[in-house]
Amino acid sequence: MAKVTRFEDLRCWQLARKLTHQVYVMSNQGQLAKDFDTRSQFKRAGLSIMNNIAEGFGRFSPKDFVKFLDYASASCTEVKSMTYLMLDLEYFPSEDIENFQKQIEETKASILAFIKYLRNKESQ
Protein backbone atom coordinates (compact mmCIF):
# COMPACT_ATOMS: atom_id res chain seq x y z
CA MET A 1 0.00 0.00 0.00
CA ALA A 2 1.33 3.43 -0.96
CA LYS A 3 2.03 5.83 1.90
CA VAL A 4 -1.07 7.87 2.62
CA THR A 5 -0.39 11.38 3.84
CA ARG A 6 -3.91 12.83 3.72
CA PHE A 7 -7.26 11.40 4.74
CA GLU A 8 -8.56 12.44 1.32
CA ASP A 9 -6.38 9.71 -0.20
CA LEU A 10 -8.17 6.94 1.68
CA ARG A 11 -10.56 4.95 -0.49
CA CYS A 12 -12.96 4.47 2.43
CA TRP A 13 -13.14 8.25 2.94
CA GLN A 14 -13.72 8.81 -0.79
CA LEU A 15 -16.60 6.32 -0.75
CA ALA A 16 -17.96 7.88 2.45
CA ARG A 17 -17.87 11.31 0.81
CA LYS A 18 -19.98 10.02 -2.11
CA LEU A 19 -22.34 8.32 0.32
CA THR A 20 -22.72 11.52 2.35
CA HIS A 21 -23.46 13.45 -0.82
CA GLN A 22 -26.20 10.96 -1.67
CA VAL A 23 -27.63 11.27 1.86
CA TYR A 24 -27.87 15.03 1.41
CA VAL A 25 -29.43 14.71 -2.05
CA MET A 26 -32.03 12.25 -0.77
CA SER A 27 -32.74 14.49 2.23
CA ASN A 28 -34.03 17.19 -0.09
CA GLN A 29 -36.39 14.92 -2.02
CA GLY A 30 -39.99 13.87 -1.60
CA GLN A 31 -41.47 13.03 1.76
CA LEU A 32 -38.10 12.87 3.49
CA ALA A 33 -37.63 16.60 2.85
CA LYS A 34 -40.76 17.20 4.96
CA ASP A 35 -39.91 14.73 7.74
CA PHE A 36 -37.61 17.03 9.70
CA ASP A 37 -36.67 14.62 12.51
CA THR A 38 -35.84 11.69 10.25
CA ARG A 39 -34.08 13.91 7.73
CA SER A 40 -31.95 15.48 10.46
CA GLN A 41 -30.91 12.13 11.94
CA PHE A 42 -30.23 10.71 8.47
CA LYS A 43 -27.96 13.63 7.62
CA ARG A 44 -26.12 13.47 10.95
CA ALA A 45 -25.51 9.73 10.62
CA GLY A 46 -24.36 10.08 7.02
CA LEU A 47 -22.03 12.95 7.79
CA SER A 48 -20.52 11.13 10.75
CA ILE A 49 -19.22 8.39 8.44
CA MET A 50 -16.79 10.59 6.53
CA ASN A 51 -16.02 12.81 9.50
CA ASN A 52 -15.10 9.91 11.79
CA ILE A 53 -12.71 8.57 9.15
CA ALA A 54 -11.08 12.00 8.90
CA GLU A 55 -10.98 12.47 12.67
CA GLY A 56 -9.44 9.05 13.19
CA PHE A 57 -6.79 9.84 10.60
CA GLY A 58 -5.82 12.85 12.67
CA ARG A 59 -5.22 10.75 15.79
CA PHE A 60 -1.73 9.79 16.86
CA SER A 61 -2.17 6.08 17.34
CA PRO A 62 -3.43 3.31 15.08
CA LYS A 63 -5.59 2.09 17.98
CA ASP A 64 -7.42 5.43 18.11
CA PHE A 65 -7.75 5.44 14.33
CA VAL A 66 -9.38 2.01 14.41
CA LYS A 67 -11.80 3.23 17.10
CA PHE A 68 -12.98 6.06 14.85
CA LEU A 69 -13.18 3.76 11.85
CA ASP A 70 -15.40 1.53 13.98
CA TYR A 71 -17.65 4.54 14.67
CA ALA A 72 -17.80 5.21 10.93
CA SER A 73 -18.77 1.61 10.27
CA ALA A 74 -21.51 1.79 12.90
CA SER A 75 -22.83 4.97 11.29
CA CYS A 76 -23.08 3.07 8.00
CA THR A 77 -25.25 0.55 9.79
CA GLU A 78 -27.40 3.35 11.21
CA VAL A 79 -27.88 4.90 7.78
CA LYS A 80 -28.82 1.50 6.35
CA SER A 81 -31.31 0.93 9.17
CA MET A 82 -32.95 4.24 8.37
CA THR A 83 -33.41 3.17 4.74
CA TYR A 84 -35.82 0.47 5.91
CA LEU A 85 -38.03 3.11 7.48
CA MET A 86 -37.92 5.07 4.23
CA LEU A 87 -38.82 1.90 2.36
CA ASP A 88 -41.69 1.10 4.74
CA LEU A 89 -43.03 4.65 4.50
CA GLU A 90 -42.58 4.59 0.71
CA TYR A 91 -40.42 7.71 0.71
CA PHE A 92 -38.44 6.31 -2.24
CA PRO A 93 -38.93 3.50 -4.76
CA SER A 94 -37.60 0.16 -3.53
CA GLU A 95 -35.07 0.01 -6.40
CA ASP A 96 -33.58 3.34 -5.30
CA ILE A 97 -33.32 2.11 -1.71
CA GLU A 98 -31.70 -1.15 -2.82
CA ASN A 99 -29.11 0.73 -4.90
CA PHE A 100 -28.40 3.06 -2.01
CA GLN A 101 -28.03 0.11 0.37
CA LYS A 102 -25.41 -1.37 -2.00
CA GLN A 103 -23.53 1.92 -1.82
CA ILE A 104 -23.70 1.78 1.98
CA GLU A 105 -22.41 -1.80 2.03
CA GLU A 106 -19.54 -0.96 -0.32
CA THR A 107 -18.52 1.92 1.93
CA LYS A 108 -18.77 -0.20 5.07
CA ALA A 109 -16.79 -3.03 3.47
CA SER A 110 -14.03 -0.59 2.58
CA ILE A 111 -13.91 0.72 6.15
CA LEU A 112 -13.81 -2.81 7.57
CA ALA A 113 -11.05 -3.82 5.15
CA PHE A 114 -9.02 -0.81 6.25
CA ILE A 115 -9.56 -1.72 9.92
CA LYS A 116 -8.31 -5.23 9.17
CA TYR A 117 -5.27 -3.80 7.37
CA LEU A 118 -4.41 -1.52 10.30
CA ARG A 119 -4.82 -4.31 12.85
CA ASN A 120 -2.62 -6.66 10.83
CA LYS A 121 0.00 -3.95 10.39
CA GLU A 122 -0.04 -3.24 14.13
CA SER A 123 0.41 -6.91 15.05
CA GLN A 124 3.52 -7.31 12.89
pTM (two decimals): 0.94
Angle made by CA atoms 70, 48, 121, in degrees to the nearest 5: 30
**Residue-level pLDDT at 4:** 82
pLDDT value of residue 1: 53
Q: What is the predicted pLDDT for the residue at 5? A: 87
- The residue among 17, 7, 44, 8 whose CA lies nearest residue 106 is 17
pLDDT at 3: 81
Q: What pLDDT, on the 0 to 100 scale, is given for residue 122?
A: 78
Name residue 53's amino acid: I
Residue numbers in the chain where pLDDT is lower than 50: none
CATH of 8-123, one of 3.30.360.10, 1.20.1440.60, 3.20.20.80, 3.40.50.720: 1.20.1440.60
As a whole number of angstroms, the distance between CA 68 and CA 71 comes to: 5
CB 1 within 8 A of CB 60: no
Q: Give the pLDDT confidence score for residue 50 in this predicted structure.
A: 97
